[in-house]
Amino acid sequence: MCLAGNHDLGVLGRLDLEDFAPDAVASARWTREVLTDGAREYLESLNPLGRRDGAELFHSSPRDPVWDYVLSAEAAVATFELTETPLVLVGHSHIPLAITLDDNLLDGGVAPDGTETGLDAGRRLLNPGSVGQPRDGDPRAAWLLVDRERGTASFHRVAYPVERTQAEIRERGLPDSLAQRLAGGV
How confident is residue 98, by pLDDT bands cut at 50, 70 and 90?
Answer: very high
What one-letter code names the amino acid at 101?
L
What total number of domains does the chain contain? 2
Q: Are residues 57 and 23 in the same domain?
A: no
Q: Are residues 29 and 61 in the same domain?
A: no
What are φ and ψ of residue 109, in 5° steps?
165, -140
Q: Are residues 25 and 106 in the same domain?
A: no
Nearest CA-CA partner of 93 in 118, 125, 45, 53: 125
- Distance (Å, rounded) from C-alpha 113 to C-alpha 87? 20
Q: Are residues 155 and 166 in the same domain?
A: yes
Domain, as residue range, for 77:
49-186
Q: Are residues 97 and 110 in the same domain?
A: yes
Q: pLDDT tens, 14-58?
A: 999 999 999 999 999 999 999 999 999 999 999 999 999 999 999
What is the model's pLDDT at position 161? 93
Q: Are residues 56 and 127 in the same domain?
A: yes
Strand order in the sheet with 116-118: 116-118, 152-158, 141-147
Q: pLDDT tens, 134-170?
A: 889 999 999 999 999 999 999 999 999 999 999 999 9
Residue 85's domain is classified under what CATH number? 3.60.21.10
Q: Are residues 96 and 7 in the same domain?
A: no
Q: pLDDT tens, 46-71?
A: 999 999 999 999 999 999 999 999 99
Q: Are residues 73 and 120 in the same domain?
A: yes
Cβ atoms of residues 155 and 116 within 8 Å? yes
What is the model's pLDDT at position 183? 86
- Other beta carbons within 10 angstroms of residue 166's beta carbon come to 17
Last residue of a domain, one of 32, 47, 62: 47
